Copies of this chain bind each other. A is one copy, B any other.
Amino acid sequence: MVGIDDVARRAGVSTATVSRALSGRGHVAAATRERVEEAAAELGYVVSASASSLATGRMRNIGVVVPFLNRWFYTSVLEGAQRRLMQYGYDLTLYNLSGSSNERSTVFEQFLLRQRVDAVIAVSLELSAEEVDSLHALGKPLVGVGGPIRGVPTVSIDDVGVTRLATEHLLSLGHTVIGHIGGDVDAEMSFHMPTNRRLGWEDALRDAGVEPRPELYFPAVFTMESGYVAAKQMLGDPRLRPTAVVVASDEMAIGVILAARDMGLDVPRDLSVVGIDDHELASFFGLTTVAQFPEQQGERAVELLMRELEQSRDDEPSNLQLPFELVVRSSTSRPRPDRESRG
CB contacts (< 8 Å) of A225 on chain B: these are 284
Contacts of A111 in B (CB 8 A): 86, 91
What is the oligomeric copy number?
A: 2
Q: Please tell me the number of chain A residues within 8 Å of chain B, measured between CB atoms.
A: 46
Answer yes or no: A14 CB below 8 A from chain B CBs. Answer: no
Of A44-52, A141-149, A192-200, A209-217, which stretch is located at the interface?
Answer: A44-52
State which of B89, B110, B281 has its C-beta within 8 Å of the C-beta of A110: B89
CB-CB under 8 A from A59, the residues of chain B are 49-50
* Residues from chain B with Cβ under 8 Å of A86 in the complex: 99, 103, 106-107, 111
Contacts of A223 in B (CB 8 A): 280
* Chain B residue, CB-CB nearest to A71: B75
- Kindly state whether residue A22 has any CB partner on chain B within 8 Å: no
Query: A69 contacts B79, CB within 8 Å?
Result: yes
Question: Quick check: is A265 within 8 A (CB to CB) of the other chain?
Answer: no
- Say how far A278's CB is from chain B's closest CB, in angstroms: 13
Residue A49 contacts which of B78, B106, B114 (CB distance < 8 angstroms)? B114
Q: Which residues of B contact A96 (CB under 8 A)?
A: 78-79, 82-83
Q: Tell me how far the C-beta of A44 lies from the nearest C-beta in chain B, rounded to whole angstroms.
A: 8
Contact of A92 among B89, B93, B114, B284 (CB under 8 A): B93
- Point out the residues of chain B lying under 8 angstroms from A49, CB to CB: 50, 53, 59, 114-116
* A interface list, Cβ under 8 A from B: 46-51, 53-54, 59, 61, 69-70, 72, 75-76, 78-79, 82-83, 86, 89, 91-96, 98-99, 103, 106-107, 110-111, 113-116, 223-225, 228, 255, 280-281, 284
A and B contact pairs by CB, cutoff 8 A, 27 listed: A47-B114, A48-B54, A49-B50, A49-B53, A49-B59, A49-B116, A50-B53, A50-B54, A50-B59, A50-B115, A51-B54, A53-B53, A61-B93, A69-B79, A69-B82, A75-B75, A78-B94, A78-B96, A82-B96, A83-B99, A83-B103, A86-B99, A92-B93, A92-B94, A93-B93, A94-B94, A225-B284
